[in-house]
Structure 1
């Protein structure tokens, strides 16, 4: 007996399944991170359909579930919006790949989180509409994502407490007894403070070079990994490093 569910979904990742099938890994608004089986999608007559399942695609889906499998089975789908610039702009495409992988590797298969889903939809719409330089987008995303996941960095930065401590999620004094292996550098700490306190437009205007972006991104992934009690290896990070070098 199958249970049919109508919901919204954010596409995260595609994997092959059998000779002609695909598994679309999504974040479902009601069911959380799940895999949806697409039968026969790799056949030539259906090849154009895969374009609808690009990274961060927003879809309305009707799926069926079975007690015999964790997979959902796609009954029908419709794009909620057309994300033209994310699909065609190289920089935005690289960001979409990174954001999708972060979501895929940090969220477990469990019930949906409507507030997180709503926030992610907003971030996707912001990326699509963004004009000009988007090189800081993934940095602002990571800071906001930690907040949405419940790992809120406490923004108590000051000249007396200029170092961010991963374990306490607070800015601390250089003379404190905190483990130096879990402290951001002064540069990364100041950038975190600026990203937490700035609105989106101001965050995009923070002048940064590639080295600063890469260092901050690595530290934020370490912060996420600590609070999730796992090691987070984001393969697409190398693509971002190349694009925004």
Structure 2
């Protein structure tokens, strides 16, 4: 049966001599894999270019429940994300975040709130004219709400250390190896409490940014089974090392 759905490109891999398997987070079916026949042939360069990280698509798909790889009938770009192609910072952020999202989003079922969060975040990243050096940190903290490990917002001067095992703030007496220090914990709560319009008001230097990114990724690793090392991490670290 043929369905229409919006989709967000996560990644693609080569399949056979000329085809692609594209992983897409869809509005109607959650995460799905689609075969793009001939997607790597010389005659299909334009088709291949549709499947870049975080591209927003309008799709007609053949969908069968329980099938590992679905088929595409028609696909087109919903919105042209020119900055995600030509701005090296934004394209690097998109590559990094799609790698994270690919590791943590596995559900093959619709989640309209999550889809809207992803869709609006991508549009913001593309259209934002201000600095985006804190965007990836904002995105990763907000994404936890949809992954089931959004932390307790119980920070106080008395409970100022973030316990990554249990997703809550604890006192110094209860801190342990998987607790962030006081400065990192304060920075983390600021990120969780910040709106997208205020992320550039957070004052962080390159070391602060790298420390908090490491902390967030460690939190993901502790809370999300199978969250392994990221190939694009070195790129994002080098990008904002200034």
- TM-score, length basis structure 2: 0.94
Cα shift at 1:109: 4.2
Q: Which residue of 2 aligns with 1:105?
A: 103
How far does the alpha carbon of each residue in 1:134-169 deviate from its partner, in whole angstroms, 9 at most, with x for none? 110000001100122221211222221111111221
Paired residue for 1:221? 217
> Is contact 1:210–1:244 with CA below 8 Å preserved after alignment?
yes
5 and 214 in structure 1: CA distance in 2 versus 1, 3 angstrom threshold:
same
Q: 2:145 aligns with which of 127, 144, 147?
A: 147
The residue correspondences of 1:164-203 to structure 2 (distance < 5 A) are 164-176=162-174, 178=175, 180-203=176-199
Q: Which among 42, 49, 52 is matched to residue 51 of structure 1?
A: 49
Looking at structure 2, the residues matched to 186 and 53 of structure 1 have their Cα atoms a distance apart, in angstroms, of: 42
Aligned-pair CA distance for 1:215: 1.9
Q: Is the 8 A contact 2:103 2:226 kept in 1?
A: no
Residue by residue over 1:54-105, the C-alpha shift from the partner in whole angstroms, topping out at 9 and shown as x without a partner, is 1100101111135794111110012111111111100000110111111100
Matching residue of 1:71: 69
Counterparts of 1:201 and 1:161, CA distance in 2: 28
Distance 2:171 2:186 in 1: 13
Any conservation in 2 of the 1:65–1:71 contact (CA below 8 Å)? no
Change (3 A) 1:210 1:221: same
Q: Which of 158, 161, 165 pairs up with 2:159?
A: 161
Within a 5 Å distance, the mapping from 1:16-27 to structure 2 comes to 16-27=14-25
1:22-41 pair list within 5 angstroms: 22-41=20-39
For the residue of structure 2 that corresponds to 1:70, the secondary structure is coil
1:82 to 80, 83, 89: 80
- TM-fit CA distance, 1:232: 2.9
Quick one: distance in 1 between partners of 2:15 and 2:185? Answer: 43
Q: Does the 8 Å CA contact 2:104/2:227 hold for their aligned counterparts?
A: no
* Cα distance change of structure 1 residues 170 and 67 upon mapping to structure 2, 3 Å threshold: closer
Provide the C-alpha distance between the structure 2 equivalents of 1:4 and 1:216, rounded to a whole number of angstroms.
Answer: 44
Distance 1:183 1:67 in 2: 42
5+ unaligned residues in a row in structure 1: which ranges? none
CA pair 191-33 structure 1, distance change in 2 beyond 3 A = same
Q: Deviations over 1:10-62 (max 9, x none)?
A: 00101000000011111111211111100011111211222221110010111
C-alpha root-mean-square deviation of aligned residues, in Å? 1.6
Q: Secondary structure at the match of 1:73?
A: strand
Equivalents in 2 of 1:152, 1:114: separation in Å?
18
